[in-house]
Amino acid sequence: QSRQARRICALAPIIPVIVVKDAAHAVPLARALVAGGLPALEVTLRTPVALEAIRAMADVEGGTVGAGTLLTAADVKAAKAAGARFGVSPGLTETLVKACEDEGLPLLPGAVTASEVMRAMEWGYDCLKFFPAGTSGGAAAIKALGAPMPQVGFCPTGGVSLANATDYLSLKNVLCAGGSWVAPQAKMEAGDWMGIEDLAREAAALPR
Ligand code: 3PG
């Protein structure tokens, strides 16, 4: 399971966490992020148009579109049917793991404690989302988990910004990070796709 997830995480230092409120934003947003150097795109299933956005973004050249906020087996089915090539979940349940395996959807499940990470490893997952990163101990917590479990790679998300991304990306056990700052609602509403491309380029240049 994790081999494909690791491939997704290797694409760029930052995976944009996207909330699409207007389906018309999907394609220009995806094009801007990909043009700026961020090909892996996480569209959160938090708005009524999220699945429609995934369907539209799936055709954007150079992009790899995934679905975030997977909470249920139905979410997994719908995401896969819409064309998502990977899934992201804030947590990890047996139901979710089974659904992703049934659908053949690579999953980045969430885990922040040693026990959660150990359970993920038991199920064959060693590429995990660390969420919510900022309030779960941040980079210091990920570094500490790496001592007993160096084989696990993390994608911290939640409270990651341009200012603190390097704290995470400089760790050996951080593969990439996720953040919403590269796709701000105000820029989408203003149709400022060049501005979003600039934000993407800045994030894509972060060292890791
Ligand atoms: C989320 O799932 O909302 C992400 O973790 C985004 O967090 P951010 O808005 O702090 O980047």
Structural domain including 55 reads 2-204
* Number of compact structural domains in the chain: 1
Which residues of the chain have a pLDDT value below 50?
A: none
CA-nearest residue for atom 5, ligand 1, is: 158
Radius of gyration of the CA atoms of the chain, in A: 16
Q: Residue 1: its pLDDT value, please?
A: 67
Atom nearest to 134 CA in ligand 1: 10
pTM: 0.97
Pocket probe for ligand 1: among 131, 135, 154, the residue whose CB has the most ligand atoms within 8 Å is 131
The answer to whether 52 is a known catalytic residue is: no
Ligand 1: centre distance to CA 48 (Å): 18
The ipTM is 0.89
pLDDT of residue 2: 87
Q: What is the CATH number of the domain that holds 93?
A: 3.20.20.70
Question: Which ligand 1 atom is nearest residue 180's CA?
Answer: 11
Which pLDDT belongs to residue 76?
A: 98
202 is catalytic: no
